């Protein structure tokens, strides 16, 4: 399905929040104040009804839409748009008690009690039918309402259920995938530990000792979520086909392969909550947010998308819930816009008086007025977003480099016993973020893509830790390199096939020893405080770096050695190698390098390949959205320190003050600059792949 370049309901950047009038039905004063306060921050829209099922249907078949009628009409009168949610993210107590089978069952076989959220069984026909009924009522009543702009389907779907119905559906899914029990035993390698199944009823939903089962279970769970969402959307699309459907993603959430989800939705939305603590590494966290935004941009096919949730201040679920420093929140919003967001919504509009999220950040605090620092910052954000209407519908510039993010490789790695686990999260995503951050820090633009992307649109493709590698993906990447591209792979590449079975014939598989010109004999997993020295001119003037966590013992089989191990018993063995393949090159990095090592490596590689890049101080990033009338440039200082740069003849405007900047300029901490005019030729993003471009926008 090809998505429109412009979100059909966006004539300007939309700005608003999750709004819960059903929590304030006993206080009409609050509800009347809300619309007036929304106008004060230049809000244009709100997501309504996300957890409101009982307020809409207090008992089976009895509907109370009066409060929502009033809200929808009030929004229409005020010229505000509604993202109307289906209320299925939290099931009604009456439904949960009447039909306990809709409640999830954990791995321990225990059915969850009523309450909580995100805990419905996605396979349950009772819950699916109930969801369709309430959605049909909403579509019949509001499908043509003038304030309705978007269906917000459910909320942050995730999790898994191990009930007998899900187990049976899993068995059916496996039969369709493998055909016979014999083939299932073969691909899961069940003869290990005598796990061979002789009847389908013996196949469990969870067994850590069968890593092929774990991988397939996650695929099944993902498919069930997609199927549930499609079931929800059916009456909405039937009765109000002119209103697009979305559901809010959660970045790199574990059980959700959003590449697959994105194919069934009309537009893409995401929730993001960066935890800001104003330390020296704050710029790294900001680049982590850039990674997530780039991933969402990939889901949207490079087209505009929706930031459905973020916090205007602190959250309530972190270990330490820090306040955002001045300038940080505005920069976070503009960062999303620079990456293609045409909608910015908060969770939440008004803090509730009770419940789990009563201390979560919101536009309106418990004080209830407009005098708070956060409200004033939100009003300033609304003012700035009003001025950015020219970027609506524009796509961020196509990058010369693609980085592959693949949920199945992540799942397979996490399911496999042996590889060292991540310190702060999963090992796979850590690797992808580190390479993304190094590429951006070296001045190279990056798109995030799936394994089935069109690689030919890029100069270089990077596949960090692509542990699961199918024949088809390996072939397509090798063909990309042979046609003149550069393929960069890393440690943990090509260890297993699509069923989490190790490739025969040596790593990297399948049959990639010739493509990379090397053999990966074994891997050394390091203790947390261990460091292995690496040396090579590929790391720039320093000529060396360190490796942590993972170092592979590699042997060249025709590849050129760019760096070697300089310590440990395998000192002298190659660790970064380059091979000519057809008209292009393959490069292999066999260790997890220190940050400076990665940055030096990509600076070296970009120069050798003639990739366009922009040299800026560490933590200063430029992002461009391209339209028919030329580029719109955003310039961010992600650090808490001032940064000196030379803008040359380009004119930017400091977003906080509107002051014009050109020539030698000092960026303030968390500063954001914008250039909405056509840029001089020396600042335009070069499309010439044969020439290395070092832009004049660089440190003074």
Full DSSP string of 363-421: SB-TT-SS-SHHHHHHHHHHHHHHHTGGGTTPEEPPPSEEEE--HHHHHHHHHSSSSPP
Tokens in use for 3? 């998505």
- Give per-residue pLDDT as tens, 540-578: 888 999 999 999 999 999 999 999 999 999 999 999 999
* Predicted pLDDT at 687: 31
Counts of helices then strands in the chain (DSSP H, E): 17, 29
Q: Is 568 a catalytic residue?
A: no
584 near 590, Cβ under 8 Å? no
Q: How far apart are CA 197 and CA 138, in angstroms?
A: 47
Provide the whole-model pTM: 0.93
Residue with tokens 């505000």: 80
CATH homologous superfamily of 620-699 equals: Golgi alpha-mannosidase II (2.60.40.1180)
The three-class DSSP label of residue 216 is helix
Provide the strand spans (E) within 72-138.
Answer: 81-85
* Predicted pLDDT at 420: 67
Q: Is 156 a catalytic residue?
A: yes
- Give per-residue pLDDT as tens, 35-53: 999 999 999 999 999 999 9
CATH 2.40.430.10 for domain 401-609, yes or no, is: no
495 Cβ contact list (under 8 Å, min separation 6): 467, 468, 469, 502, 503, 507, 508, 509
Locate the domains of the chain by residue range.
270-393, 401-609, 620-699
Catalytic choice (57, 156, 408, 445): 156
* Predicted pLDDT at 612: 93
* Predicted pLDDT at 697: 60
* Predicted pLDDT at 677: 43
- Which parts of the chain have pLDDT scores under 70? 1-5, 277-278, 280, 419-425, 628, 676-700
Catalytic choice (57, 309, 434, 445): 309
Q: At what angle do helices 211-239 and 164-178 cross, to 10 degrees?
A: 100
* Predicted pLDDT at 5: 66
Q: How far apart are CA 343 and CA 14, in angstroms?
A: 5
Nearest to 47 by CA among 360, 298, 255, 271: 271
The three-class DSSP label of residue 316 is coil
């Amino acid at each position: 399905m090809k998505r429109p370049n412009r979100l059909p309901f966006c004539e300007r950047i939309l700005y608003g929040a999750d709004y819960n009038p059903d929590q304030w039905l006993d206080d009409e004063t609050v509800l009347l104040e809300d619309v007036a306060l929304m106008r004060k921050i230049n809000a244009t829209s709100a997501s309504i009804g996300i957890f409101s099922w009982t307020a809409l249907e207090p008992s089976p078949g009895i509907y109370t839409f009066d409060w929502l009628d009033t809200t929808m009409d009030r929004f229409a009168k005020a010229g505000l748009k509604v993202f109307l949610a289906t209320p299925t993210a939290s099931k009604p107590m009456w439904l949960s008690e009447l039909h306990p089978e809709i409640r999830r069952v954990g791995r321990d076989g225990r059915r969850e009690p009523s309450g909580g959220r995100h805990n419905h069984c996605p396979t349950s026909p009772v819950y699916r039918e109930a969801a369709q009924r309430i959605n049909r009522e909403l579509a019949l009543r509001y499908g043509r309402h003038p304030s309705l702009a978007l269906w917000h389907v459910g909320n942050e779907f995730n999790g898994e259920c191990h009930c007998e119905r899900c187990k049976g559906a899993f068995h059916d899914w496996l039969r369709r995938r493998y055909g016979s029990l014999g083939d299932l035993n073969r691909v899961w390698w069940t003869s290990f530990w005598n796990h061979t199944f002789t009847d389908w009823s013996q196949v469990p939903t969870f067994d850590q000792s069968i890593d092929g089962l774990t991988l397939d279970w996650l695929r099944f769970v993902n498919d069930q979520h997609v199927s549930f969402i499609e079931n929800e959307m059916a009456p909405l699309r039937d009765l109000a086909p002119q209103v697009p459907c979305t559901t809010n993603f959660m970045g790199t959430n574990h059980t959700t392969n959003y590449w697959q989800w994105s194919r069934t939705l009309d537009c893409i939305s995401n929730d993001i909550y960066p935890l800001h603590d104003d330390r020296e590494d704050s710029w790294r966290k900001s680049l982590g947010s850039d990674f997530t935004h780039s991933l969402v941009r990939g889901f949207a096919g490079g087209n505009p998308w929706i930031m459905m949730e973020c916090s205007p201040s602190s959250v309530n679920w972190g270990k330490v819930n820090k306040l955002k420093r001045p300038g940080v929140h505005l920069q976070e919003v503009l960062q999303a816009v620079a990456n293609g967001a045409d909608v910015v919504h908060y969770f939440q509009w008004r803090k509730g008086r009770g419940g789990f999220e009563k201390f979560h950040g919101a536009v309106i605090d418990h004080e209830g007025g407009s005098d708070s620092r956060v409200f004033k910052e939100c009003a300033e954000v609304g003012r700035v977003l009003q001025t950015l209407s020219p970027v609506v519908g524009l796509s961020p510039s196509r990058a010369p480099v693609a980085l592959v993010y693949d949920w199945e490789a992540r799942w397979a790695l996490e399911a496999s016993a042996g590889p060292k686990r991540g310190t702060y999260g999963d090992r796979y995503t850590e690797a992808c973020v580190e390479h993304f951050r190094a590429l951006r820090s070296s001045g190279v633009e990056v798109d995030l893509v799936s394994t089935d992307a069109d690689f030919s649109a890029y100069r270089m493709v990077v596949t960090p830790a692509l542990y699961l590698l199918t024949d088809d993906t390996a072939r397509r990447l090798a063909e990309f390199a042979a046609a003149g591209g550069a393929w960069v792979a890393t440690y943990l590449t090509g260890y297993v096939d699509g069923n989490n079975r190790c490739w025969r014939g040596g790593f990297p598989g399948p049959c990639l020893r010739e493509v990379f010109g090397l053999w990966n004999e074994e891997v050394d997993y390091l203790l947390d405080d261990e460091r292995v020295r690496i040396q090579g001119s590929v790391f720039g003037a320093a000529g060396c770096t360190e490796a942590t966590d993972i170092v592979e013992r590699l042997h060249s089989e025709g590849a050129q050695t760019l760096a070697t191990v300089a310590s440990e018993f395998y000192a002298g063995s190659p660790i970064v190698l380059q091979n000519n393949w057809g008209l292009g090159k393959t490069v292999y990095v066999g260790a997890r390098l220190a940050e400076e090592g990665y940055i030096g490596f990509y600076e070296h590689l970009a120069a050798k390949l003639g990739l366009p890049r922009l040299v800026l101080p560490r933590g200063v990033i430029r992002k461009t959205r391209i339209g028919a009338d030329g580029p719109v440039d955003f310039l961010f200082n992600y650090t808490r320190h001032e940064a000196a740069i030379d803008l040359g003849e380009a004119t930017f405007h400091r977003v906080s003050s509107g002051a014009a900047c050109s020539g030698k300029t000092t960026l303030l901490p968390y500063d954001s600059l914008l250039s909405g005019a056509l840029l001089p030729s020396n600042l335009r993003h070069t499309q010439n792949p044969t020439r290395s471009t070092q832009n004049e926008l660089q440190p003074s």
